Amino acid sequence: MIIIGVMGGGSASQESIECAYELGRLIASEGWVLLNGGRAAGIMEASAKGAREAGGLTVGVLPDMDTSQTSDYIDIPILTGMNAARNYINVLSSQVVVACPGGAGTLSEIALAMKSKRPVICMGWDPGPVVAAMAPQGMFFLAATPDEIIGMIKDLLK
């Protein structure tokens, strides 16, 4: 089973939401499982919706012990009660991490992924020079479109 983590902000631009939805749809079309932060907001909601509407399986790793903020598009909610510490679960459970525009939480997931030797593909944004320094090690990639990301994931999974 291939699990692709899609990380990103709880609030996002309309363009980022549309890209996350399409990314989720494409992940499901490949038969991969989509894992994200599970909340009914921003990138999490959009990517899960795209995957679910394409017939895919979605897993949401939630920060608390309450299902009230869980996206309706999450098939398997994992309640952690761990707040931001749940980011490690997101990363370690994913073969590849796709980072959509976000804030400090998304940056922490990128850092944890790189420390855990999980490749990171940033879609539609550049998190900065510290992260970009990992590119020569084959751990960090920039992509502009969901289609480009799917091709990169296929190459990384070979």
Mean pLDDT of 39-55: 98
C-alpha 58/C-alpha 23 separation (Å) is: 13
At 48-98, the pLDDT tens digits run 999 999 999 999 999 999 999 999 999 999 999 999 999 999 999 999 999
Q: What is the DSSP letter of 141?
A: E
Domains of the chain by start residue, with CATH: 3-157 (3.40.50.450)
- pTM for the whole structure: 0.95
Say if residue 134's pLDDT is above 80. no
CA distances 9 to 29, 40, 47, 95, Å, are 24, 11, 11, 20
The rounded distance, in Å, linking the Cα atoms of 68 and 41 is: 12
Q: Average model confidence (pLDDT) for the chain?
A: 94
Residue 133, pLDDT score:
76
